[in-house]
A and B are shown apart, each in its own frame.
Chain A
Amino acid sequence: MASAARRTPLLLLLLVSLLLLGAPRPTRSQDLRAGAEPVPRNEVTPATGHAPSAGGAEAGHGGEANGTAAPAHGCGESSEHGHAAPITTLPIVSWRWEHVRAPYLVTLWILVSWICKLSHLEGVYKVTARAGAGHWSPEPGPNVSGYGGSDLEGIIPLVELNPHAVKTPFLVVMWISVAGGLKLVSPIGERLEKGWSRLSSLGPFCTVIEANHSVTNYIPESALLICFGFLIGGVIWAADKVQTFTLTPTVFFFYLLPQVILDAGYTMPNKLFFSNLGAILVYAIIGTCWNAASVGLSLWGCHMGGAMGDIEIGLLQYLLFGSLIAAVDPVAVLAVFEQVHVNEVLFIMVFGESLLNDGVTVVLFNVFDGFVSLGGPAIDAAEIVKGIVSFFVVAFGGSLLGLVFGVLICLVTRVTKNIQIIEPGFIFILGYLSYLTAEMLSLSAILAIVFTGIACQRYIKANMDEASVATVQHAMKVLANGSETIIFLFLGISAIDRGIWVWNTGFILLTLLFIFIYRFIGVFFLTWILNKFRLVPVEYIDQVIMSYGGLRGAVAYGLAVMLEKSKIKERNLMISTTLIVVYFTVILQGITLKPLVNWLKVKKAADSDLSLIEKVQNKVFDHMLVAIEDISGQIGHNNMRDKWNTFEGKYLSWLLMKPSARKDRDHLFNIFHQLNLKDAVSYVQEGERRGSLEFIRNKTAVIDFKKKFDDDMSDMVPDIMADATSDAVPYATYQRHDIPSVSLEMDQDMKGTNVNSHELLQQNLYKGRKQHRHRYSRTHFEINKDQGEVQEILQRTMQTRLESFKKAKTGNKIIRDSKKDNMQKMANGKNTDWDRSRAYSDSDFDIPEPSGASAGPMYGNSFPMRVSYRVGVGVENLAFMPDVENLGALHRAPAWLTQAPPDGGAGVGAELNQPVTPRNLRRLAPLRISAQSLDPFQLDEIDLQRIQSSQSPPLLLPPPPPPSSLRPPSPPSYEGSHL
């Protein structure tokens, strides 16, 4: 086992190094490429062979390798044309290792190292540890001497200014923090606020801008960010007189775009997406082609008509421009529509189109770029056919690649149980890798990463630990939202550059006009066709919004920047026109979209979640429809979906999911999960009333407790036993499934709908003592599972029970009453009775006595939270919040005690409803007020000692009467109710 495990990473390493060594070889020299390239790429081979200007390509590669990313040869999205430059025929796919080398290597190495970690069965770990030990074991000694050595050198500069060493990362971090700070303007940024403000520490700055919160009600934040970009760009330009920062295609396509798209894919509503897939594809493919062709041709027509004056743009170049400006931009669409809340179908249409049209854009752009470099006469039918073929290769190849990587992610997360800490990282790394791989193969990278996200989402959610899922969600949002911010900011900044601005009124205005008009025409025409086949037709209003929401964004800009000056003389004009189009659509249309939506009364998304009955019903209807389709012998899409579901349930989830996770996927199970949470609230409350929370949170406690009872005291306390068992049974059944019933992560989903229950839960949950045992380990982040503590709690509970039992023996009716209380019978007469008994017992106690009161907090504090209460989302002692409210009552405590209301009025009823613990703790309150410095933990220690001393004899014995100062506050009434 160990040897096999040792071998696995080695083999992997070997494999990867081979891959890495092998991969660059073809690009190292043009000649080698012919031999090294796989079949689909042999299109390139003759081309490079015949190309007279192969040296040009070589030079291009050199530039690339230096990482300067000259725009002429940018390594973006669709830079296939980089290779296409010297060729005489159109490549369908090409091999572009050089473009993606740096990020690819980094990602791959991270992945490899993690996989090694993944297979760290004990053996490997030991081996590496031993190997490491050789280097690191004498660490303290040499290190100290090392420091000494440096001391000996004498002059240590106290502060050394070394701006160059950190220049690049410093700039990057600076920009991110500036962008993050600007993001605070927007209400949506709130989610990120914490992360960003920690990162940026731009406190005062943030607060200034945050005053503008209301602004974003009218202006979408993307528009606002672009405007801020203008400002900052202006400032920089004023200082430097040159354009220092722009959004380069490399940065955009490799480092900013992937996470936005991955997030989009990962959070894609699958059912909605696939049930509208047909329409989306039509819009994405035909619509985009239509846009590109019509805009290009119309511009060309106007050019021929003389509307543009004297510019050198041919038909092909117009078409190239049309193809880059045609595509709706996912980032811009997402940013704007996110704030508008249109109905789901409309949203998925626009958004899905913007995602999927990438394949078309890439192909169109490449094809026309290739045609431009080929020149008009060289284009024959074969080239055009190749262009069409390459569309299918690029689009389907990209999607397929994405699916493969998605499956890979699922498989990996299936086995990452032992390395939960970096588990979430795999999603990002593999997702990014799919993007880069597609980029390398010149497939559609966006499609690849979208489908990676779509393919893996449901399985990894089931496979991974809940904490990891939450981490993925949050990290994904942080990354996506962060880079989206940066993208828009830099789009603004890029404008302040004198170099790129070329003004040609005719060209720019006509472009704007055509884009606007043809988008409308295209959408209306396609919808008209689609509506003939659609069950619920897309309404006219929706069509208007869909057309109007066709925003262009950074993708178009990135593509425009990648145009080559040598091939296209008017490159700058195209860039500036693209920028203007982007600004126009994002700012103007973005701002007006929301009023338009309101004005046209577009159906908005439903605010609330589906209620349970609706969910059940939808499920029932699904089944019904399938049944009816079956009865009629018809194969409709319901039928297909059912088939897919069966297949998926039978085979895919078997392959991709952890066995333990499969059950959780049941549709109703998820709902039940949520219900569970809600019910947890009531359990906790009830438990609180009984004063024994560990019944709920700790299975073992229940069992132990019962067992002990059985063994030790069954003869003594038949009454209590009966009570306890009847209590324990329902809890046990609720815990039959290992779904954490009290999970704070879950709350986040329910925050909107169930604020009440959420708050209740928060009030009732509190941090167990010493919950996170800090072991200073990066790999384990676990909650205290100390058995000793369980035992301690058990003992404590036992003690209180015993105590109460003892007291109860003297007054039997209390038990009876408390039982009634448990059954939540609030008959008024009984209440009075109860209240009286409590009053008596209370008056036995000296309330302000500090040490007596000290038992209070321990009592409450001692409940551990063992189930599922994870990563520091603790609510510290919120259980005691009711206490604070009751402080007022407390000050009148003596009066209250002496005047037990003779009749159980409404007030008393309410009191009875409260959990018992707080009441118990009320005695603590004066302590808290008077002696703030008294550490509850300290008190716990005291209590612990006391308990240990008192409990060292068998539980059977009643505890020796403690010294009066340490006497636990256990008036019979509470304790009775604990049962």
Chain B
Amino acid sequence: MGNKQTIFSAQQLDAYQDCTYFTRKEILRLFSRYRDLAPQLVPLDYTHQPDVKLPYELIGSMPELKDNPFRQRIAEVFSEDGEGNMTLEDFLDMFSVLSEMAPRDLKAYYAFKIYDFNNDDFICKLDLVKTLNKLTRNELTEDEVRMVCEKVMDEADMDNDGRLSLEDFQHVIVRAPEFLSTFHIRI
């Protein structure tokens, strides 16, 4: 197990530690998890910063994820290229956001981004419709979805511009006491 130290150089580890909320040990653990996803692609030696990406096809084809409506969106949001191809940095980022230490605002920001399907920095009705359709697996009719959307907008839209800004979203999040505990993953 001593050879684990050679995966990263000391500077790399420090850098990772600075950029995430993790300790050295946790970073190594996450790396091994990352590598487990595709042992043939990920080298054991990261000291030369190899340009390795897990292609989205690989993530999306995992059997557990087949039913999950949000897998693609999550991969897209957290991957740097926006296509769902994850580098190790993306992977660490993702868990960092979801760690205990991450502040509420950061979590809220990423949750917001996941919602915002069309990347226009607002949750508009289209985004909501998309979310609802994903959640209900297209079982609701258009009218019903529309009504739910209207209701949601009604509840959360503070500045009445017909779409939810990050501030609106955070306002809702702050009120929901469960948010911190739900938007969290223990490594």
A631 in contact with B176 (CB, 8 Å): no
B residues 120-134 near A (Cβ < 8 Å) are 131-132, 134
A139 neighbours in B (Cβ, 8 Å): none
B178 interfacial contact with A, CB 8 Å? yes
Q: Which one of B3-11, B12-20, B44-52, B139-147 is at the A interface?
A: B139-147
Q: Report the minimum CB–CB distance from B106 to chain A (whole Å).
A: 15
**Cα-based distance from A627 to B65 in the complex (angstroms):** 6
A535 in contact with B67 (CB, 8 Å): no
A633 in contact with B94 (CB, 8 Å): no
B147 neighbours in A (Cβ, 8 Å): 672, 675, 679
**Cα-based distance from A736 to B148 in the complex (angstroms):** 16
A646 in contact with B67 (CB, 8 Å): yes
B103 interfacial contact with A, CB 8 Å? no
**Cα-based distance from A636 to B64 in the complex (angstroms):** 13
A671 neighbours in B (Cβ, 8 Å): 148
Given A614-B172, A636-B185, decide whether A631 and B148 contact each other with a Cβ distance below 8 A. no
Per-residue CB contact flags for chain A residues 728-768 toward chain B (1 = under 8 Å, else 0) read 00100110100000000000000000000000000000000
Q: Report the minimum CB–CB distance from B142 to chain A (whole Å).
A: 9
Main secondary structure on B side of the interface with A: helix
Contact residue among A623, A629, A733 (Cβ-Cβ distance under 8 Å from B135): A623
B64 in contact with A639 (CB, 8 Å): yes
A4 interfacial contact with B, CB 8 Å? no
B residues 39-82 near A (Cβ < 8 Å) are 59, 62, 64-65, 67-71, 74-75
Per-residue CB contact flags for chain A residues 628-645 toward chain B (1 = under 8 Å, else 0) read 111111101011001000
B155 neighbours in A (Cβ, 8 Å): 611-613
A663 neighbours in B (Cβ, 8 Å): 139
B residues 158-187 near A (Cβ < 8 Å) are 172-173, 175-187
B182 in contact with A621 (CB, 8 Å): yes
A residues 599-621 near B (Cβ < 8 Å) are 606, 610-614, 616-621
B156 in contact with A613 (CB, 8 Å): yes
Given A535-B186, A613-B155, A634-B33, decide whether A628 and B65 contact each other with a Cβ distance below 8 A. no
B135 in contact with A619 (CB, 8 Å): yes
B114 interfacial contact with A, CB 8 Å? yes
**Cα-based distance from A163 to B74 in the complex (angstroms):** 76
Per-residue CB contact flags for chain A residues 652-668 toward chain B (1 = under 8 Å, else 0) read 00000000000100111
Interface centre among A535, A631, A667 (most CB of B within 10 A): A631
**Cα-based distance from A667 to B148 in the complex (angstroms):** 12
A624 interfacial contact with B, CB 8 Å? yes
B185 in contact with A631 (CB, 8 Å): no
B148 neighbours in A (Cβ, 8 Å): 612, 616, 668, 671-672, 675
A626 in contact with B136 (CB, 8 Å): no
Given A614-B172, A628-B94, A672-B148, decide whether A634 and B185 contact each other with a Cβ distance below 8 A. yes
A639 neighbours in B (Cβ, 8 Å): 64
B151 interfacial contact with A, CB 8 Å? yes
A622 interfacial contact with B, CB 8 Å? yes
**Cα-based distance from A671 to B152 in the complex (angstroms):** 11
Given A628-B98, A672-B147, decide whether A622 and B68 contact each other with a Cβ distance below 8 A. no
Contact residue among A536, A625, A634, A733 (Cβ-Cβ distance under 8 Å from B183): A625
**Cα-based distance from A633 to B33 in the complex (angstroms):** 7
B74 in contact with A628 (CB, 8 Å): yes
Given A612-B151, A632-B95, A636-B186, decide whether A620 and B33 contact each other with a Cβ distance below 8 A. no
B100 interfacial contact with A, CB 8 Å? yes
A621 in contact with B183 (CB, 8 Å): yes
Contact residue among B67, B68, B111, B151 (Cβ-Cβ distance under 8 Å from A621): B111
B70 neighbours in A (Cβ, 8 Å): 620, 623-624, 627
Contact residue among B71, B135, B151, B187 (Cβ-Cβ distance under 8 Å from A620): B135
**Cα-based distance from A633 to B69 in the complex (angstroms):** 17
Closest to B156 in A: A613
Contact residue among B68, B75, B156, B173 (Cβ-Cβ distance under 8 Å from A623): B68
Total B residues in contact with A, Cβ cutoff 8 Å: 56
B181 in contact with A627 (CB, 8 Å): no
A630 in contact with B62 (CB, 8 Å): yes
**Cα-based distance from A642 to B111 in the complex (angstroms):** 20
Closest to A622 in B: B182
B68 in contact with A630 (CB, 8 Å): yes
Contact residue among A621, A666, A669, A733 (Cβ-Cβ distance under 8 Å from B143): A733
Closest to B107 in A: A621
Closest to A343 in B: B177
A614 in contact with B67 (CB, 8 Å): no
B115 interfacial contact with A, CB 8 Å? yes
Closest to A614 in B: B176
B140 in contact with A620 (CB, 8 Å): no
B185 in contact with A629 (CB, 8 Å): yes
Contact residue among B75, B111, B175, B186 (Cβ-Cβ distance under 8 Å from A614): B175
Given A628-B185, A634-B185, A666-B136, decide whether A618 and B74 contact each other with a Cβ distance below 8 A. no
Given A611-B155, A624-B74, A624-B114, decide whether A631 and B183 contact each other with a Cβ distance below 8 A. no
B62 neighbours in A (Cβ, 8 Å): 630-631, 633
**Cα-based distance from A642 to B139 in the complex (angstroms):** 19
A621 neighbours in B (Cβ, 8 Å): 111, 179, 182-183
B105 interfacial contact with A, CB 8 Å? no
Given A616-B131, A663-B139, decide whether A631 and B186 contact each other with a Cβ distance below 8 A. no
Given A623-B68, A627-B70, A631-B65, decide whether A616 and B182 contact each other with a Cβ distance below 8 A. no
**Cα-based distance from A371 to B26 in the complex (angstroms):** 51
B101 interfacial contact with A, CB 8 Å? no
**Cα-based distance from A733 to B144 in the complex (angstroms):** 9
A626 in contact with B186 (CB, 8 Å): no
A618 in contact with B178 (CB, 8 Å): yes
**Cα-based distance from A616 to B115 in the complex (angstroms):** 11
A625 in contact with B152 (CB, 8 Å): no
A535 neighbours in B (Cβ, 8 Å): 100, 181, 184, 186
A733 in contact with B141 (CB, 8 Å): yes
A633 in contact with B36 (CB, 8 Å): yes
B172 in contact with A623 (CB, 8 Å): no
**Cα-based distance from A630 to B65 in the complex (angstroms):** 6
B74 in contact with A631 (CB, 8 Å): yes
B183 neighbours in A (Cβ, 8 Å): 621, 624-625
**Cα-based distance from A686 to B75 in the complex (angstroms):** 46
A612 neighbours in B (Cβ, 8 Å): 148, 151-152, 155
Q: Report the minimum CB–CB distance from B183 to chain A (whole Å).
A: 5
Q: Report the minimum CB–CB distance from A635 to chain B (whole Å).
A: 9
Given A624-B74, A631-B62, A636-B186, decide whether A736 and B141 contact each other with a Cβ distance below 8 A. yes
B37 neighbours in A (Cβ, 8 Å): 631-633
Interface centre among A627, A671, A733 (most CB of B within 10 A): A627
B179 neighbours in A (Cβ, 8 Å): 617, 621
Given A623-B70, A627-B65, A631-B75, decide whether A536 and B98 contact each other with a Cβ distance below 8 A. no
**Cα-based distance from A960 to B65 in the complex (angstroms):** 71
A636 neighbours in B (Cβ, 8 Å): 185-186
A620 neighbours in B (Cβ, 8 Å): 70, 111, 114-115, 131, 135
**Cα-based distance from A634 to B91 in the complex (angstroms):** 13
A614 neighbours in B (Cβ, 8 Å): 172, 175-176
Q: Report the minimum CB–CB distance from A328 to chain B (whole Å).
A: 25
**Cα-based distance from A617 to B181 in the complex (angstroms):** 13
Closest to B137 in A: A666
Q: Report the minimum CB–CB distance from A663 to chain B (whole Å).
A: 7
Given A618-B178, A733-B141, decide whether A627 and B68 contact each other with a Cβ distance below 8 A. yes
Given A628-B94, A631-B59, decide whether A668 and B132 contact each other with a Cβ distance below 8 A. yes
Closest to A663 in B: B139
* A–B Cβ pairs within 8 angstroms, 7 of them: A536-B181, A627-B71, A628-B94, A628-B98, A631-B62, A632-B95, A663-B139
Q: Please give 6 more A-B residue pairs, beta carbons under 8 A apart, in addition to A616-B148, A618-B176, A631-B37.
A: A613-B155, A613-B172, A619-B135, A631-B74, A668-B135, A736-B141
Show the binding face of B for A, using Cβ within 8 Å: 30, 33-34, 36-37, 59, 62, 64-65, 67-71, 74-75, 86, 91, 94-95, 98, 100, 111, 114-115, 131-132, 134-136, 139-141, 143-144, 147-148, 151-152, 155-156, 172-173, 175-187
